[in-house]
A and B are shown apart, each in its own frame.
Chain A
Amino acid sequence: MNDPKRPFSPEVKTEAERWRRETFDPAAVQRPERKPFVTDVGIGIEPLYTPADLERIGFDYLRDAGFPGEYPFTRGERPGMNRTDPFVVSAYSGFGDAEACNRRFRKLIEIGAEQILVALDLPTQCGYDSDHEMSTAEVGQVGVAIDTLADMELLFEGIPADSVKRIGTLGNSIGPIVLALYAALGEKQGIPWSRYTVNLQNDPLKEYIARGTQILPAEPAAKLAADAVAWCVGHAPHWSPMTVCVNHINSGGAGSSMGTAIALANARHYLNLLLKQGYSIDEVAPLLHMFPDERHDFFVSIANLRALRRIWARLMKQTYGATRPEAMACRTTVYGHGQEALAEPLNNIPRTAFGTLAYVLGGASYVYLAGYDEAVSTPNEDSARVALRTLQILAHEHGFTDTIDPLGGSYFIETLTAQVEKQILDGMERIERAGGALAVINGGFGRQVMTQGAVRRQRAIDSGERPWVTVNLWPQKPNVPNTAFRGDPKATERQLARLAEVKASRNRAAVETALAEVDRATGEGANVVPSVLKAVRAYATVGEIVELWRKRFGTFLPSTEF
Chain B
Amino acid sequence: MREAMPKAPRGRRIRVLIAKVGLDGHDVGARVVARGLLDAGMEVIYTGLRRTPEEVVRAAIEEDVDWIGVSTLSGAHMTLLPKLRRLLDEQGASDIRILAGGIVPQEDIPALTDKAVARVFLSGTPIAEIVDYLLGQTAHA
Stretch among A5-13, A132-140, A217-225 lining the B interface: A132-140
Interface: A479 (CB within 8 A): yes
Contact count band on A: 35 or more
Is A513 part of the binding interface, using a Cβ–Cβ cutoff of 8 Å?
A: no
Residues on B with C-beta less than 8 A from A213 are 23, 25
Does chain A have a CB within 8 A of B122? yes
User: CB-defined interface of A244-260 with B at 8 Å, one 1/0 digit per residue?
Assistant: 00000001110000000
Given the interface pairs A122-B74, A136-B79, A141-B76, the reply to whether A482 lies near B107 with Cβ below 8 Å is yes
Closest Cβ–Cβ distance, residue A115 to chain B (whole Å)? 25
Of the four ranges (under 10, 10 to 19, 20 to 34, 35 or more), the interface on chain B belongs to 35 or more
Are B106 and A482 in touch, CB under 8 angstroms? Answer: yes
Contact A454–B104 (Cβ < 8 Å): no
Residues of A245-290 whose CB lies within 8 A of B: 251-253
A554 to chain B, nearest CB (A): 14
Residues of A within 8 A of B80 (CB): 137
Q: Taking the complex as formed, is A233 at the interface, i.e. its CB lies under 8 A from any CB of chain B?
A: no
- Chain B's closest residue to A558 (CB) is B48
- B116–chain A nearest beta-carbon distance, Å: 14
Q: Which residue of B lies closest to A560 (CB)?
A: B48
Q: Are B106 and A481 in contact (CB under 8 A)?
A: yes
Residue A471 at the chain B interface, CB threshold 8 Å: yes
Instruction: Name the one of B46, B74, B125 contacting A142, with C-beta atoms under 8 angstroms.
Output: B74
A377 is an interface residue with CB less than 8 A from chain B: yes
Distance in angstroms between the alpha carbons of A341 and B32 in the assembled complex:
17
Query: B48 — which chain A residues lie within 8 A by C-beta?
Result: 558-560
Given contacts A122-B74, A137-B80, A480-B103, contact A451 B124 (CB under 8 A): no
| Residue of B with least CB distance to A341 | B124
> Are A486 and B75 in contact (CB-based, < 8 A)?
yes
Chain B residues engaging chain A, CB cutoff 8 angstroms: 18, 22-28, 30-32, 34-36, 44-52, 74-76, 78-80, 103-107, 122-128
A-B contact pairs, 26 of them (CB 8 A): A126-B23, A128-B23, A137-B79, A138-B24, A138-B76, A141-B75, A142-B74, A212-B50, A213-B25, A253-B28, A343-B124, A377-B103, A454-B28, A455-B35, A458-B36, A458-B127, A478-B123, A479-B106, A480-B103, A480-B122, A482-B105, A487-B75, A558-B49, A558-B50, A558-B51, A562-B31
With A125-B23, A135-B23, A480-B104 known, 19 other A-B pairs at CB within 8 A are A122-B24, A122-B74, A126-B50, A142-B75, A211-B26, A212-B49, A251-B28, A342-B123, A376-B103, A454-B31, A458-B127, A462-B127, A478-B122, A486-B75, A560-B47, A561-B46, A562-B18, A562-B30, A562-B31
